[in-house]
Copies of this chain bind each other. A is one copy, B any other.
Amino acid sequence: MENFEFYSPTEFVFGKDTELQVGELLKKYNAKNVFVHYGGGSVIRSGLLGKIKAKLDEAKIKYFELGGAMPNPRSGLVYKGIELCKKNKADFVLAVGGGSAIDSAKAIAAGAKYDGDFWDFYDKLAQVKDALPIGVVLTIPAAGSEGSASAVITQEKGMLKRGIVSEFYRPVFAIINPELTYTLPMYHMAAGIVDMMGHIFERYFTLTKHTELTDRMAEAVLVSIIEAAKVLIDEPYNYDARATICWAGTIAHNGILGVGKQEDWVTHFLEHELSALYDVAHGAGLAVMYPAYMRYVLDVDVERFRRLAVKVFNVKDDLENPRKVALEGIAELERFYQSIKMPISFGELGAKKEDIDKLLATLEINRGKKFGTFKKLTMEDARKIYELACK
């Protein structure tokens, strides 16, 4: 096990009707002038935004707002939010929505306390040294951004999609009411499921030895996600299955499943180029990339893939054919993705084999010629993985 720090200070308030606590929570964290940031119109149509505003009024907390955060959130709206926060002297940022609204809100929270261009942080020209405190009312279980220290933004100039990690990005509180996900189309729920499983995979495939405790916890969460997802196929409004998915999405990315090990985020990196170029759902892109990546790196640690197959995908073990067991696990993962109607190939995603050079070009700009730790990947490796994903 490697040395580590685990710091997850977010106050998670989880369950039915918890959004009604938003006023009290903002007061607890001394918010007086809140910038409310959200995505498309669904939080308006569902009545959630109105409910939140009523609670802010009740608590006598001032606020102003900006909607429009889209999947793969963009720099343009971040600049707009920063300007608004500076002009109105916001002292707190409340994100209402999923990963896009939260990530956008995080960048705004940091930018509002910075004199330069917020993209400096994403260009590694500057470090976040301060940010407005961030609160969250979650509506989409997927990104885990409600409990994470990271945020991904796409710079419109050049369509560069990049993430950074900063302790200032940890929300001080996150309200998670699984019922708020009832209006979410199943496609987005499924993409969220793929995303949170991905956050576990990126931590699961590691070269660090003696990480059994964290590995077993990761497997426990994966099994529970898959089980709950299967329930939702037949009973989309099953509260407990939604609750399982919501909480799994949070702990998949608050760090607890990565302690003591070297993590590796290469599949996210490979996918980011897809969602940046085609503006597809990040989770859908991941469903295409994971099986391809896993098959490509399988031989780095067949035993780990075999373990995943047996423990998470219920593949029958075969002592004499561990590689076959491991491969069957990956095939099971693919079948699971298909069962929740996620794409598993470039074609189904709407991506094109002819664009691989384009993907590699931005990948190299974002990640350099070599990246990854579980298996160090060259651009040639990346090409082969993209090709495998074409099927």
A residues adjacent to B (C-beta < 8 A): 1-16, 18, 209-210, 212-213, 216-217, 219-221, 223-224, 227-228, 239-240, 243-244, 247-248, 251, 256, 259-260
Contacts and interface: CB of A to CB of B under 8 A. Distances in A.
A14 B9 contact: no
B1 A6 contact: no
Contacts of A15: 1-4, 260
A11 B7 contact: yes
A244 B3 contact: no
A221 B214 CA distance: 8
Nearest to A225: B213
A14 B8 contact: no
A313 to B, nearest CB: 15
Nearest to A11: B7
Contacts of A9: 8-9, 11
Given A5-B14, A7-B11, A210-B244, 20 more contacts: A1-B240, A1-B244, A2-B15, A3-B15, A4-B15, A6-B14, A7-B10, A7-B12, A9-B9, A9-B11, A209-B240, A210-B240, A213-B220, A213-B224, A213-B248, A216-B221, A217-B221, A219-B220, A220-B220, A251-B256
B256 A243 contact: no
A213 B3 contact: no
B260 A213 contact: no
A13 to B, nearest CB: 5
A216 B220 contact: yes
Nearest to A6: B12
29 contacts: A1-B15, A1-B240, A1-B243, A3-B15, A3-B16, A3-B18, A4-B12, A6-B11, A6-B12, A7-B11, A7-B12, A9-B9, A9-B11, A210-B240, A210-B243, A210-B244, A212-B227, A212-B244, A213-B244, A213-B248, A216-B223, A216-B224, A217-B217, A217-B220, A217-B221, A219-B220, A243-B260, A247-B259, A247-B260
Given A213-B221, A213-B247, A11 B1 contact: no
Contacts of A209: 240
Contacts of A244: 1, 210, 212-213
